[in-house]
Amino acid sequence: MNSGPRFLIVSFDGLRPDLISATLTPNLYRLQSLGVTLSNHRTVYPSETRSAFPSLVTGATTSRHGMVGNKYVDRSVTPQRYIDTADAILLRQLDLESGGRLMSAPALGEILASAGRSLAVLATNTPGTTRFFHHKAEDFGHVRLSGHFREACTPDEVLAEAEDRLGPLPPEPPKIEPNTVGQDWITSAFLNVVWPKCRPDVTILSYGEPDVSSHFHGTGAEATCGIIAHCDREFGRVLDWWEAEGRAAGVQIIAVSDHGHITGHTRVSIADSLCDAGFRPGIAPAPDVDLVVVPGQVGALYLADPTDAEVARLVTTITSQRWCGPVFTRAKNETEGIAPGSFGNHLVFADHVRAPDVSFSFRADDGLDPFGLIGGTFYDNDRRTGLGVHGGLHPKELAAVGIAAGSLFSQAGPVSVTPSGICDLMPTILHTMGVGIPETSTGRVLHEVLTPNGNAKPQIRRDTFEARIGNFRQILRRVWVNDSIYVEAGMAES
């Protein structure tokens, strides 16, 4: 058995940090009093789950790991194909087809395995998200359990023992129903099976809520607050275990989220706008489609003929629309994209070979939603107004939970105002475990919250970029901590 620290990462999908309170989330609030809160913690762009969680486990931005969105167009094959990364079976197929290069950066599970350590995953997210936490778990005999989806579970004997102890995997409830049963199952599976049986060096326990409830009820709705409180109660069981047993066993506990939510206030149709401009859009490659519009809250546009002129025509079209926020294309120089008025996608670390020809965020603002929460936006889906969305560059979409407690971290409730991000957690964990950090990592070790280095004073500076075309103006703000860069916000106006 390995000596040294162990880690438990507990994730709350889509939880805004400003929803943590003594009344709604008393156990997360209690964790804050036991450890250190990262008060300027952020996710990556796009602020989508299946870009952010790969960043968690690779310590890298999308430019390095290649998961450029929840969905993308795969141009490495002929004919080109549309990929929905929610599909765990498809992800396994893609990894095998590519010789293990589903992600173009090594991930935490395989790094730990090469050092003789283990990663366990328990999650109620989609099957694909669950696989992303440790997409090679079956190759190393590591544990990966879904609270609902058998195809995401491995190994069979651990799943069988969990079902014998806890009952069969519960079916996923309808999206309109807050998912309580799944959160209960994975919590019990960790406490009663995975920890006693396996003692993983690192465990990821991922609650798929409140993300789904926010999408279908609203970020501050009664149903969403109810599932936040329920997940917090389940986390309370884990925190009780940690205080009674886990802490003495050297377990460090880190609570995170992958992104925040803002509220969709105005529904629009991208396809209609593009048709009016003479494009033939579709949601997947096809002979009669000259522009693939990948569904989602962050705009991903793939041209059949991605010449500089066509990219420029597309950018001119969308920047004339009232719903268009920040726009990115492949780089022309250090700041500009190839299309006038666009930024280079390298500025937000989204310049991977899988990246769309044009990516954009919907235009967002700081208005208050019906629940009194800051952040509203245009959106393009079939749901009513007033519901939670994410993917873009509003500060509340980029804001993520970050709380760490244990013997390695500053204790008794301090708040770190130093900017940090989801890519920093993997290198910090590996550093404290004495495991080498891969060169692909873009994150940094959070020395400022580690003991005895808690007094470290990093150098912080900011940069701002601006681009214009016609009446369209966009601004991008970033912050540097030593040599690491975090995206703070992107906005556009006409």
Summarised one tens digit per residue, pLDDT across range 204-226 is: 999 999 999 999 999 999 999 99
- Rounded to 10°, the helix 26-34/222-241 angle is 40
Domains and CATH numbers, the chain: 6-260+399-449 (3.40.720.10), 265-377+462-493 (no CATH)
Query: pLDDT value at position 352?
Result: 97
Query: pLDDT value at position 455?
Result: 63
The vertex-234 CA angle with 394 and 24, nearest 5°, equals 50
Angstrom distance (rounded) from CA 10 to CA 250 = 16
- Rounded to 10°, the helix 156-166/181-189 angle is 110
Question: Per the structure block, which two tokens stand in for 328?
Answer: 């990115």
* Distance set, CA 408 to CA 115, 205, 459 (Å): 21, 20, 23
The closest alpha carbon to 117, from 202, 222, 9, 10, belongs to: 202
Q: DSSP letter at 440? A: T
* Buried/exposed code over 410-438 (b: 16+ C-beta within 10 A; e: otherwise): bbeeeebebbbbbbbbbbbbbbbbebebb
The closest alpha carbon to 430, from 23, 113, 69, 84, belongs to: 113
Query: Which residues in 184-236 belong to E strands, given as ranges?
Result: 202-207
Angstrom distance (rounded) from CA 361 to CA 12 = 23
The closest alpha carbon to 72, from 83, 88, 61, 87, belongs to: 83
**Inter-residue contact 3 to 247 (CB < 8 Å):** no
Return the residue matching tokens 């460090």.
Answer: 252
Phi, psi of 266 (to 5 degrees): -140, 120
HSE-up (13 A, CA, CB side) for residue 91: 27
Angstrom distance (rounded) from CA 292 to CA 282 = 5
Question: Per the structure block, which two tokens stand in for 17?
Answer: 């940090």
Q: DSSP letter at 87? A: -
**What SS3 class is residue 224?**
helix
Query: pLDDT value at position 296?
Result: 86
The closest alpha carbon to 460, from 417, 397, 424, 404, belongs to: 417
Question: Per the structure block, which two tokens stand in for 88?
Answer: 């765990």
Angstrom distance (rounded) from CA 293 to CA 283 = 5
**What SS3 class is residue 68?**
coil
The closest alpha carbon to 441, from 58, 99, 83, 81, belongs to: 58
Angstrom distance (rounded) from CA 338 to CA 60 = 25
Query: pLDDT value at position 451?
Result: 82
Angstrom distance (rounded) from CA 206 to CA 131 = 12
Question: Per the structure block, which two tokens stand in for 153?
Answer: 């579970």
Query: pLDDT value at position 454?
Result: 59
Distance of CA 395 to the CA centre of its chain: 14
The closest alpha carbon to 189, from 148, 154, 145, belongs to: 145
User: Residue 323 burial by CB count (10 A; 0-12/13-18/19+): exposed, middle or buried?
Assistant: buried
- Average pLDDT over the chain reads 97
Phi, psi of 489 (to 5 degrees): -170, 155
Angstrom distance (rounded) from CA 29 to CA 490 = 30
Which residues are CB-contacts of 68 (< 8 A; sequence separation ≥ 6)? 46, 51, 62, 300, 350, 352, 354, 355, 356
Angstrom distance (rounded) from CA 99 to CA 136 = 12
Angstrom distance (rounded) from CA 63 to CA 308 = 21
The closest alpha carbon to 401, from 266, 256, 242, 283, belongs to: 256
Query: pLDDT value at position 292?
Result: 97
Low-confidence ranges of the chain (pLDDT < 70): 1-3, 453-456
Cβ atoms within 10 Å, residue 65:
26
The closest alpha carbon to 145, from 192, 85, 81, belongs to: 192
**What SS3 class is residue 28?**
helix
Angstrom distance (rounded) from CA 20 to CA 207 = 15
Query: pLDDT value at position 118?
Result: 98
The closest alpha carbon to 472, from 323, 353, 367, 372, belongs to: 323
**Inter-residue contact 371 to 219 (CB < 8 Å):** yes
Angstrom distance (rounded) from CA 157 to CA 272 = 51
Question: Per the structure block, which two tokens stand in for 97?
Answer: 């087809």
